[in-house]
Amino acid sequence: MEAIERALDVALIVMENGGSTANAERTFRNVLKGDKHEGGAVGWRLDLVTVSVTGPDQTSTVVRAIGPVGVNLVRASAAVVLGERVARGEIRPAALPAEIERVKALPLPYKRGAIMVASAFTAAFICRLLGGDMAAVGIAFAAGGLGAFFRSVLRAMGLPQAPLTIVCGLVSASLAGLGLRLGLSSAVGPTLVASVFYMVPGISLINGFLDMVSYRHLLIGLERIASAAFLFLALAVAVAFAYSFVI
């Protein structure tokens, strides 16, 4: 069971940092392979994972809670690579705890300012792609950037994902609505949609889709897609509120 626990430690890093279920399971199997352990049946959910191992006399089950799922793909990637190295025998099981701590300590690859600027440009580019004029692009740029700043502040305060999305969606869409209300642009649709685009749950959506088409992770795939749909709904409410403010 110790080998199972160790393998789960690494696999959960993948799950908790936005990695796909296929990668988490592959990492789990890789670490077990390095431990010369056959493993067992694994069941994934967004909130917990269960592993059942059938021995000669009895069946044992390990249940581990999965923490809040965030996004740090550098960490997820490092955990996958760690699993591969363990499977190849480059890292011995005894050295694994130290490696796990190293991976867990990896920071985000981009600073807060870079993410804010990227959010502003995301809003600007998608606004233009949706047919917005240059004034609309400017409004979306400002609304997206300021909303992203607000999001980083609220995230640092530990606000959970759903309220964070609603509040920041309202802030960004209202700022965009204010720009439209001032008559800076007449492209209402592109400006409002673009202003909240930086919060689109792309990773949940694509991981959910990949889980579902793999056929092996249908349940967690549905969970991920339902979670993404809920966040989309929150953004839609924010945009609808801003629209009623504009007209």
Partner 1 sequence: MDLLTILLQGLLAGFFSCALGIILTAPPGYLVPVFLCGFTGRFVRDGLMSFDLSLNWSTMLAAAAIVLVAAAILRRHAVSPVTLASAILPLAASASMFDAILALMRVSGSTGEALQSASVSLIFNASKLFMTSLAIALGLAAGMLIVRMIRGENAWGSV
- Token pair of 32 as six digits: 């077990």
Q: Is 129 in the site for partner 1 (CB under 8 A)?
A: yes
Name which position in 162, 213, 218, 226 contacts partner 1 (CB under 8 A).
213
What is 160-223 written as a DSSP string? Answer: -HHHHHHHHHHHHHHHHHHHHHTTS-S-HHHHHHHHTGGG--HHHHHHHHHHHHHSSSHHHHHH
Q: Is 135 in the site for partner 1 (CB under 8 A)?
A: no
* CA neighbor of 75 nearest in space, from 23, 112, 117: 23
Name which position in 3, 53, 62, 74 contacts partner 1 (CB under 8 A).
74
Q: How many residues bind to partner 1 according to rule CB under 8 A?
A: 50
Q: Are 41 and 60 in contact (CB under 8 A)?
A: no
- Least distance in angstroms from the C-beta of 19 to partner 1: 7
The Cα–Cα gap between 99 and 93 comes to 10
Segment interacting with partner 1 (CB under 8 A) among 15-23, 91-99, 157-165, 216-224: 15-23
- Least distance in angstroms from the C-beta of 9 to partner 1: 17
Q: Is 246 in the site for partner 1 (CB under 8 A)?
A: no
Q: Is 200 in the site for partner 1 (CB under 8 A)?
A: yes
- How many CB atoms neighbour CB 30 within 10 A? 22
Q: Are 69 and 13 in contact (CB under 8 A)?
A: no
Name which position in 193, 220, 231, 234 contacts partner 1 (CB under 8 A).
193
227 Cβ partners below 8 Å, 6+ apart? 46, 201, 204, 208
Beta bridge partners of 42: 51
- Least distance in angstroms from the C-beta of 213 to partner 1: 5
- Which residues of this protein are in contact with partner 1, per CB under 8 A? 18-20, 22-23, 26, 71-74, 76-77, 80-81, 108-110, 114-115, 118-119, 121-122, 125-126, 128-131, 148, 189-190, 192-193, 197-198, 200, 202-203, 205-207, 209-210, 213, 236, 239-240, 243-244
